[in-house]
Amino acid sequence: MPAPLVPDAQLRVVGLTPTPQRRAVLALLIGRSRPLTAQEVHAELNHSVQHIGLTTVYRALHNLADAGLLHTFELDGQRAYRHCDTAPHQHLICTRCDTVTECPPDIVTSWLTELHQHTGFTPRPDRLDVKGICAACAST
């Protein structure tokens, strides 16, 4: 399997100019399982040494999401962003701790086919969201 790309390389791959701000936003999101809102990203980055404008955070998140590097979620009525695999996958969203885990697609494909046959509805495999309780929360 390929080595995970550092923020800089990921930006280049999708054709975005790597700037310090975009790098910082992307780096903050990489490895997080819980989506973050623009406000949260802005706050966290500014709590560390670097300064970054709120507007820039909003624009960077838009850019990265448009490029497919981030997926968007709705957290308490606000838009939140998570760094996701570019390969197809489904989202398992914990309503207790808000973390999102990616579900390998082979678990759902056959079911989606069945769903289509029963209902005539054509599901988009990458837009399947399952909410519930994650394993970590369930064990506490």
* Binding site residues, a copy of itself, CB under 8 A: 74, 77, 79, 92, 94-95, 101, 103, 107-108, 111-112, 114-115, 118-124, 127-135, 138
Question: What type of residue sits at position 117?
Answer: Q
In the bound state with DNA, the residue whose beta carbon lies nearer, of 42 and 89, is 42
Q: Which residue stretches of 30-93 are H helix?
A: 38-47, 54-66
Q: Which of 9, 36, 7 minimizes the C-alpha distance to 22?
A: 7
Q: Per-residue x/- marks for DNA, 80-119, CB under 7 A?
A: ----------------------------------------
Task: Name which position in 26, 29, 36, 60 contacts DNA (CB under 7 A).
Answer: 60
Smallest separation (angstroms) from a copy of itself to the CB of 116: 8
What is the number of other CB atoms lying within 10 angstroms of the CB of residue 67? 15
Kindly state whether residue 78 participates in binding DNA, applying the rule CB under 7 A: yes
What is the number of other CB atoms lying within 10 angstroms of the CB of residue 51? 9
Smallest separation (angstroms) from a copy of itself to the CB of 45: 23
Phi then psi dihedrals of residue 108, to 5 deg: -110, -20
Q: What angle do CA 138, 75, 125 make, to 5 degrees?
A: 75
Chain contacts with DNA (rule: CB under 7 A): 16-17, 19-22, 37-39, 51-56, 58-60, 62, 78-79
